[in-house]
Structure formats: C-alpha cells, structure tokens
Amino acid sequence: MSPLNSIANRVTLARVVFIPIFLAILLARLPVWGPWLAAAVFALLAATDAVDGYLARSRNEVTTFGKFIDPIADKLLVTAALVALVELGRLPSWIAVLIISRELVVSGLRLVAVAEGRVIAASVWGKAKTVLQTVAIVSFIVKDSSVIVQAAGQAGAHAFGVAAWVVMVAAMLATVASMVDYFYHARDILAGPWTSGGGSA
C-alpha cells in the first residue's frame, strides 16, 4: 500500500500543510480575535497527532513513512509556534532555544538507538512534555489579547498571564526531565560499543 493511501498519513501531511496557514494567521497580528483564531488552529493541528496515531493503529496502517513523518510534523509545528512567538516579542528566545534544542538532541539520540537496533518507548515525561508545551503555547498566543482584558479586567488578564508563565515553566521542566529520562534509558547505547559505520558530519 502506498503511504499516501493511508488516512493516518494524510492527516499527518495535512498537519504539515497547515503550519504555514497557522503562521500567517499568527504573524498577521489580526485585531481582537486574531490570536484566538491562531490558537484554535494550533490546538487543532496539535490534536491531530493523537488522531493519526489512533487511525494508524486501529486500521493497521502503521507505515515506515508514517513513523518518519509524524515526529517531524510535531517538531515543525512546535518549532514554528515558538519562533513566531519570539518574533512577536511574546516569548524570550532562550526558552525557544531550550525546547528546540531538546528536540534536536533527542532526535539525534533516537537515530543512534535505531542504528543499534533499539527502540526507546515514549515515557510519561515525554507525554507530559507534549501536553504542557501545547497548553503553554496556546496560552502565550492569547495571553496579551484584548479580549481577556475586556472579559476579566486588568486583574484577570494579569492572573491569566501568570498562569501562562506557570504552565510554560512546567513545560520547560518537563522538557528537560524527558530529555534526561531518554538519556537514562539509552545509557547502555551511549556507553557502546557501537556498530561500525559511524561517522561525523
């Protein structure tokens, strides 16, 4: 079966295709409801990660292409959102660097594990990281929206901003914890000996 005939893979590819649309909405600085529309699109795209996984398993359509494109789609979505928030001045750049660096490091380690014939399953830390990052990004997209001030007043908007930062800090902690956990479970792979054929870029 062609990978593109898989409904799960089509959902994943749709997530990639809609990333530029999400960015266009967010960076356009649309008045009033613009941030909420961008947040809704991001949340919907993030939710498709669970949808395509369920479809692949329930329909027995797990493919090599799906295993390749699904994590890439997730990382592209989160990276795009973080970079856009930095561009808009809503998020310090070092937070984006921390989260993106974690994804690059773990992806590299995952490649080494696969080369050694190992598969390291996602841990509870990884799942918590994904959920917290999604909630934190959505919160940061809308936290400066005038809608919050109109609905809850200055005090309510301030409380929302504080809550958004609490979630972002929790997301950063989960990001680091998931990386440490991944390295812990891959410690024997890192210790070697590795199979021949390795090199450096």
To the nearest whole percent, how much of the chain has pLDDT over 70? 89
DSSP 132: H
Establish if 103 belongs to a structural domain.
Answer: yes
Tell me how far apart the alpha carbons of residues 37 and 188 are, in angstroms, rounded to a whole number.
46
pTM for this model (two decimals) = 0.86
Establish if 196 belongs to a structural domain.
Answer: no
pLDDT band for position 189 (50/70/90)?
confident
Q: Give residue 88's pLDDT.
A: 94
Residue 200 has pLDDT above 50, yes or no: no
Establish if 199 belongs to a structural domain.
Answer: no
Q: Are 34 and 84 in contact (CB under 8 A)?
A: no
Residue 199 has pLDDT above 60, yes or no: no
125-149 per-position pLDDT tens digit: 888 999 999 999 999 999 988 888 8
Q: Give residue 5's pLDDT.
A: 59
Q: Give residue 201's pLDDT.
A: 47
Residue-range definition of the domain harbouring residue 104: 3-191
Q: Is 38 exposed, middle or buried (0-12, 13-18, 19+ CB in 10 A)?
A: buried
69-113 per-position pLDDT tens digit: 788 888 999 999 999 999 999 999 999 999 999 989 888 887 777
Q: State the average pLDDT over residues 5-30.
A: 88
Report the number of distinct structural domains present in the chain.
1
Establish if 150 belongs to a structural domain.
Answer: yes
Establish if 47 belongs to a structural domain.
Answer: yes
Residue 43 in tokens = 């949340």
DSSP 195: P
CATH code at 28? Answer: 1.20.120.1760
Return left, alpha or beta for 7; rule: phi > 0 is left, psi -120 to 50 is alpha, else beta.
alpha
Establish if 197 belongs to a structural domain.
Answer: no
- With DSSP H G I counted as helix, E B as strand and the rest as coil, what are the percentages for the chain, rounded to 5? 80, 0, 20
Q: Are 91 and 85 in contact (CB under 8 A)?
A: yes
Residue 2 has pLDDT above 60, yes or no: no
